[in-house]
Structure 1
């Protein structure tokens, strides 16, 4: 526990000094900048300089007004983690066998594709996904390629990486605290930290990857949070994240059954457990797919 506390102190200090942490593939994930306000600066001028909205600046810095003063420090958050991803869709089918046939056809034409299950209005559909791209121009090229190969119903969707309150796997602990607020108490156990905000339960449990200081698992319990930006009801989950990939009925407590709404994207999985009342969110769990 002491080792983890010292580790997190080093992480936070390093971020404050403007250092950049890297994944094994060399991609930066904790690129938040800390700037000092100069005379004449305004939130509007800073937002234009760093291509970020005034609202996001205020949220990340917990500002109640647009007033800032010279000498004040502001966080300029990095939104690389939540940039939209463009998904090429080569058809949607009610039968998996038809989706599989479409995938086989595409592979014969040297186009890689997979079948992704979606639950829409309690009905299961099988979507053929022919790639996910960070560039809109690239997904448009793929759609053109699909149509040239006879897939006339090809289209693309815009999706965001799976997140909880704007925090994705790969975000930093510092980014998490900026989004959820400073906890009243923290308990550490090896690389896992429990953050308390109100009542007796932990509102957030986060596991940090010691190799690169990034978040590798995140569990959130809305009942014990102060922030109201995390959905607390099933209908709000569906509004925030859209149609899930899977819905399961599981045993929860006192011989009761609960519903799990599961989202899968880019090798990550978000599981949302709904209480036995059928509407209240018990927890949200974000982790790598098994």
Structure 2
């Protein structure tokens, strides 16, 4: 069977399994849920049963009204991959050497930790991350443990897994098509599919994991999309994703200088390239780096 035909049938997506300590990929594949409408069902009753909003049900099933009929099939998308995680920070430092010392100290105590760089107002800050959890209670326990070891500046904050328009590494092709809309045409090249929506350029290029047919890399070009839900300006990117982990200047077309805003979370990386005008988003590139 052709690989891309299978994408429409399998519908694999990423889920966060329970209260997991995330430093690795932290991803597992699961099938989307499909249900058949029974007599008496309403979108409201279904939304309550599956803990999903009526608006999301309508969007993912391309419904233009709240009317549903018995026998109709609905997809219940799994939004676990875009739920916020509770990140435990064991101190923030202006010098990386001091952050490295804190990591060494924690590892001697049997606590895995990594240094995460953040760029805030053009200055680098080095945070020591001692885990990211889907359960707040688990994160609180880690924070308490850190304080017992004398780290009084330990704190928690929430952070979303990296995504573009709600699609993460590990999402299914069906979820992608639901969020970005059906393209006017597609082109396949091995494990990569280009989706065209308007004008001559591809609005989306997606590469699939050969092992489980889930999304491995997603490139999005806002100027070639019909949807307005993808950020088109630098200010929108910073508002949506917050302070980046890295900012660098790269050479783009015609030897011009463009800016790349880079976000990292677990083993995922999001690169947003800004045009030479300093404000327009050229593309967003989300991939797994493991």
Structure 2 length normalisation: TM-score? 0.91
Displacement after TM superposition at 1:21 (Å): 9.9
Listed as ranges, the matches of 1:142-153 within 5 Å are 142-153=142-153
State the secondary structure of the residue aligned to 1:212: coil
Match of 2:85 in 1: 85
Distance apart, 1:27 and its partner CA: 6.7
1:76-112 per-position Cα deviation (integer Å, ceiling 9, x unaligned)? 1011221222111011111112212222222232222
Q: Which residue of 2 aligns with 1:136?
A: 136
Alignment of 1:185 with 2:181, yes or no, is no
Runs of at least 4 residues of structure 1 off by over 3 A?
19-22, 25-28
User: What does residue 121 of structure 2 align with?
Assistant: 121
What's the offset of the Cα at 1:209? 1.4
1:254–1:60 CA distance, 2 compared to 1 (3 A): same
In structure 2, the partner of 1:10 is 6
2:20 is aligned to: none
The gaps in structure 1 that reach 5 residues or longer are none
Equivalent pair of 2:90/2:155 in contact (CA under 8 Å): yes
- Report whether the alignment pairs 1:280 with 2:276: no
Conservation of the 8 A alpha-carbon contact between 2:13 and 2:214: no
Distance 1:10 1:173, change over 3 A: same
Match of 1:165 in 2: 165
Q: Whole-Å Cα distance in 1 between the matches of residues 107 and 35 of structure 2?
A: 50
Higher mean Cα deviation, 250-259 or 63-72? Answer: 63-72
Q: Secondary structure at the match of 2:253?
A: coil
Q: Which has the higher contact order (CA 8 A, sep 6+)?
A: 2
Q: TM-score, normalised by structure 1?
A: 0.91
Deviations 1:130-178 (A, max 9, x none): 1122221111100000001111110111112111111111111111111
Q: Tell whether the 8 Å contact from 2:193 to 2:207 is kept in structure 1 after alignment.
A: yes
Answer yes or no: is the 8 Å Cα contact 2:13–2:172 preserved in 1: no
Matches within 5 A, 1:19-168: 28-168=28-168
Shift of 1:34: 2.0
**CA drift at 1:51:** 1.1
Indicate whether 1:248 and 2:248 are aligned.
yes
CA contact (8 A) 2:93 2:126 kept: yes
Aligned CA-pair RMSD: 2.1
> Compared with structure 1, are the counterparts of its residues 30 and 181 closer, same or farther at alpha carbon in structure 2 (3 Å cutoff)?
farther
Specify the SS of the correspondent of 2:44. Answer: helix
**How many residues are treated as equivalent by the alignment?**
281
Deviates more, 1:53-62 or 1:224-233: 53-62
- Check 1:199–1:214 CA distance in 2 against 1; reply closer, same or farther (3 A cut): same
Q: Structure 2: which 5+ residue stretches go unaligned?
A: 16-24
Could you tell me how far apart the structure 2 residues matched to 1:92 and 1:68 are? 52
1:90 to 1:27, Cα distance in 2 relative to 1, 3 A: closer
Deviations 1:243-272 (A, max 9, x none): 100000000011110000000111110000
Q: Any idea what the Cα deviations from partners look like across 1:14-69, whole Å, max 9, x if unmatched?
A: 44xxx9999xx997534222222222211100001111111211111122332222
| Contact preservation (8 Å) 1:196, 1:204 | yes
Look up the match of 2:19.
none
